[in-house]
Each structure stands twice: as structure tokens, then as C-alpha cells.
Amino acid sequence: MPNVWPILRDAADAAPQDEGGGQSPASWTNKLMQLLGIAGWHNSLEHMRSRRGQSLAQAPGKFVSSYLLYLLAASSEAASHQFHARVREMGLRVPEWRVLACLFDQDGLMITQLARFSLMEQSRMTRIVDQMEKRGLVARKSDEGDGRRVRVYLTADGQSLSADLVEEAQDHETRLLSALSPADAERIKPSLVRLLEALDSSLISNE
């Protein structure tokens, strides 16, 4: 699992919560905005959501429409909104999908690791896992090397559901990237990974 998510952790406590104790669909975008000092964009994005199909015109001298952090936040909001609607159709909350995705990549994570990768407080992650365990999607097991540690594993149902959703997420990503030129589509993810790694290693300062 790529080590790019930790840069968002500092803003996790301020994110709005959904009914399951996890973060609401827009909260990852909100935390990125908070971390990078643009938390005030939230209301603008909510307004945009209510007016789909309308966007700020890009023109020379326009600040917002060409501002990198606005573009990152608005793109994330729109793309997440589409796929998260599908997640809910599958009977899951967004935090539960994130748990499934993390365990699909690396089964047997501890609660602390799941909380870190999913950008949730540990207490909230514990409640999410409790709910998922009751639904038969995950199971807790003691660590074979250290009985004091408890790891979370996908059940057969959880493996099947996570595999289906990961495949749908990859298809959704492909559709998103198809809107770009082949050259831009090839560059966008490596560029974002490099940006996140640079932020993670404090190579960029907002001072």
C-alpha cells in the first residue's frame, strides 16, 4: 500500500461524520483542503454540487478557476460523488468501502493501521469494524506471533464484495481518465503521487 496517505492525518479530527461513525463522502476532500490551508472552499463545493454542470469559466487573470488547490478539491469532490453513490447502492457506507479496499490490498491489518489508511480516528474505526463484523464482512483474529494484537480479516463475503467494488472502482477510474488525452491520463497519477510524497516529506512549505 503506497505510503502517501499519512500527510492527510493531521486534519482527520475536524472532518464531518456520517451516521456510521466514519467520515462523510466529502471529508477526504475537506481534510486535504484543511491540510493545505483552503478549508473555506467547502461551502463553494457544496454550492457546486447543487448546480452540477456549471463551472467557473477559465480565463486569463482568473484566480479561482486556475488555482491548483481549487482544481484538486473540485475534481476530487465530483469524482468521489459519482463512485460513492454506487457504494451506497451496494448497501455500504463510504467508510466501510474504505475498510474493504484497504483489506483487499493488505488483509489482516490492525485497527490502528486501518484507521491511519482510512483517515479515521481509531475509536470510530473500531465502531465501523464492529458493524462490519456483525454483517459478516470482516472477522477479528489474534496475531499468531503476538496474541496481544488483533488483526482484521475479510470474510468470504467481504472478499467477494471488495473484489466487486475494487473492479468497479477501477472501471470508474478508467472512465474518468478517458476524458483526458492519453498523454495527460498517463501523467496525472504519477504527478499526484509525487506531490503527495513531496508534502509527506515536508519538501513543500506553506509558509
Distance CA 36, CA 122 (A): 23
Q: What's the pLDDT score for residue 170?
A: 96
Q: What's the pLDDT score for residue 96?
A: 96
The tens digit of pLDDT for each residue in 147-174 reads 789 999 999 999 999 999 999 999 999 9
Domains and CATH numbers, the chain: 5-200 (1.10.10.10)
Radius of gyration of the chain measured on its C-alpha atoms: 18
Quick one: angle between helices 156-177 and 68-89, nearest 10?
Answer: 140
Q: What's the pLDDT score for residue 56?
A: 56
The tens digit of pLDDT for each residue in 25-38 reads 445 445 544 444 44
Given a cut of 70, the residues of the chain with pLDDT beneath it are 1-61, 202-207
Q: What's the pLDDT score for residue 124?
A: 95
Q: What's the pLDDT score for residue 76?
A: 86
pTM for the model: 0.66
Distance CA 81, CA 89 (A): 13
